């Protein structure tokens, strides 16, 4: 019997996006049976997100993180028909208790699938970073509009006014993004170095096969008549 070849995915860091490639082994077999939970607390195996079709799966730091909030707000702007036409499934995974999902979706307007991995099983087994690394050469995120000071103040205020006061996840855990499926095939992965190192959404969409390019800027639009 031929030896099974595990999929290898391309890891793109901030430093290497323009200048080179770095490869990292991502073994979905290690995490396929990890349980994730929906907003009602119902569990499903992680593999159910990508077994049947290609999926973009976003891992966020925590639901109080201002940069994650603004990133997911931009994810909510992706037209449903763009994903359906390309046969792409989109899911966000956080690491809080499931009771925080509903309020996070209300806050961001996010209409697609969202789950939590409260034990950080998938985060840890895939090797996502804990603690932040910043570099002087890092380009600004096209999705984070708030300054770090203002963003942190917003996060603190949301924590203080939340009905269930907690930090809605490990504050040191970083997130990432993968494109996987059908089956255990991994097409791409990116692990965030810090809170501003999200993979640009248009890049993810193009890598997944979505043809539409979206404008996520907050600049006023000029309408020519």
Domains recognised in the chain with CATH numbers: 28-161+169-208 (3.40.30.10)
pLDDT at 222: 45
Closest CA to 130 of 28, 187, 62, 75: 62
Q: What is the pLDDT of residues 23-41, one digit of tens each?
A: 456 889 999 999 999 999 9
**How is the beta sheet containing 89-94 ordered, strand by strand?**
22-25, 8-11, 186-191, 176-180, 55-59, 89-94, 113-116, 35-37, 43-45
Query: pTM of the predicted model, to two decimals?
Result: 0.79
What does the pLDDT read at residue 219?
Answer: 58
Return phi, psi of residue 45, to 5°. Answer: -70, 145
pLDDT tens digits in sequence order for the chain, 225 residues long:
444 433 333 444 444 444 333 445 688 999 999 999 999 999 999 999 999 999 999 999 888 888 889 999 999 999 999 999 999 999 999 998 898 899 999 999 999 999 999 999 999 999 998 877 776 656 677 777 765 655 566 655 565 566 665 566 777 889 999 999 999 999 999 998 887 788 999 999 999 999 888 888 765 444 444
Q: How far is CA 89 from CA 8, 35, 63, 67, 170, in A?
A: 21, 18, 21, 23, 26
């Amino acid at each position: 019997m031929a030896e099974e070849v595990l999929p290898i995915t391309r890891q793109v860091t901030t430093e290497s996006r323009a200048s080179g490639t770095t490869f990292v082994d991502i073994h979905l077999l290690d995490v396929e049976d990890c349980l994730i939970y929906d907003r009602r607390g119902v569990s499903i195996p992680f593999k159910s997100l990508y077994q049947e079709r290609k999926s973009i799966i976003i891992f966020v730091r925590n639901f109080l993180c201002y940069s994650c909030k603004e990133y997911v707000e931009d994810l909510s702007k992706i037209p449903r028909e763009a994903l359906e036409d390309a046969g792409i499934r989109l899911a966000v995974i956080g690491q809080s208790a499931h009771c925080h999902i509903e309020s996070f979706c209300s806050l961001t307007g996010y209409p697609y699938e969202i789950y939590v991995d409260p034990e950080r099983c998938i985060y840890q087994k895939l090797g996502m970073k804990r603690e932040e690394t910043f570099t002087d050469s890092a380009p600004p995120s096209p999705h984070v509009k708030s300054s770090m000071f203002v963003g942190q103040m917003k996060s603190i205020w949301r924590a203080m006014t939340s009905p269930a006061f907690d930090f809605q996840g490990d504050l040191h855990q970083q997130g990432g993004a993968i494109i996987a499926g059908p089956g255990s095939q991994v097409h791409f992965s990116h692990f965030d170095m810090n809170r501003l190192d999200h993979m640009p959404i248009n890049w993810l969409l193009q890598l997944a096969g979505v043809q539409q390019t979206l404008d996520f800027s907050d600049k006023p639009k000029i309408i020519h008549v």
